[in-house]
Amino acid sequence: MNPTAVLLGSFALLVLLRFPIGFCLGVAALLGAWAAGLPLAVVAQRMAAGIDSFPLMAIPFFILAGELMVEGKIADRIMAMANVLVGRIRGGLGMVNVVDSMFFGGISGSTVADVSSLGAVMIPAMVRQGYHADFAVALTITTATQAVIIPPSHNMVIYSLASGGTSVGRLFLGGIIPGILLGLSLLLAVYILARVRNYPRGEKVGLREALRALRDGFAALLAAVIIMGGIVSGIFTATESAAIASVYA
C-alpha cells in the first residue's frame, strides 16, 4: 500500500466530509505512518519532541496576555486612546480600528484575539455611525493582519523554530518598521475612502477626558514596551517576556 496515496487520500476524504483541519491532518498522518509500517510509538515520540520547545511556550503566554487584557477591559482603554489620537479626522472611527489593531497586536501577537476582542465592539459602532457593514467587517479583518507583522508575532516565533533557531528578538525588530508602514498605509486608505463615501468624523473629546484616556492607554501599552525592551536589551527571552506580559495584564 502506497503511504503517500493513503496520506493524501485520507486527508482529502476527511476534508470533503468537513472535519476540522487539525483532525484531518492528525488522522491522515497516523494512517500514512501505518501504511508505511512505522510503529505508532515513533509517531508519539516525534509529536512529543516537536512540541518540546521552550521558545514555543511564548505563543500560549502571549495568547493568555491578550485574553486577560480583553477581560480586564484593557482593550477598551486602548480604543479610548486611539479615539483621542485620530477620532476627530474624517473616517476617524475607521482609523481608530486601524490604530487599535496596531496597539493590540503589539501586545497579544494574535490575529484571532485581535478580531474577537476589537471586532465585537468596532463593527457595531462603525455601522451605527453610518459606515457600510461590509466596509466595517473588511476593515476589521484586514487591520487584524497587522498582528502577523507587528511584534510579538506568533508567526515569527514559529518561523524561528522552523528555520533552526533564528533569533526571535531580531525577527521582532525586523517587524517593527514594516508593521508601522502597513498601519500608515491602512490609515491613508481609510481616509481616502472616508472622503469619497463621506463617512463622518468622530465626536470631539474634552481635554480632561482626553488626558485620562491617554494616561490609561499608556498604562496598557506599557506591556508592549516591556516585551520589546526586555527582548532587545537581552534581559529576558521571548518566552520569559510573554510570561511577564501575562503577569502584567
Residue at grid coordinates 508567526: 155
pLDDT tens figures, 109-141: 677 777 777 777 788 888 888 888 888 889 888
User: In the chain, which residue ranges form alpha helices assigned H by DSSP?
Assistant: 3-16, 21-35, 40-51, 58-71, 74-86, 92-108, 111-128, 133-144, 154-162, 168-197, 207-233, 238-248
pLDDT the model gives residue 51? 67
Per-residue pLDDT for 54 more than 70? no
Most confident listed range (32-41, 47-56, 181-190, 223-232): 181-190
Per-residue pLDDT for 52 more than 70? no
Residue at grid coordinates 485520507: 10
pLDDT tens figures, 195-238: 888 887 777 777 777 777 777 777 777 777 777 777 777 777 77
- Cβ partners under 8 Å of residue 14, min gap 6: 23, 24, 27, 28
Task: Give the confidence band of 185 by pLDDT, cuts at 50, 70, 90.
Answer: very high
Q: Smallest Cα–Cα separation from 106: which of 135, 66, 67?
A: 66
CA distance 115 to 104: 10
Task: Give the confidence band of 50 by pLDDT, cuts at 50, 70, 90.
Answer: low
Per-residue pLDDT for 53 more than 70? no
Average of per-residue pLDDT values in the chain: 80
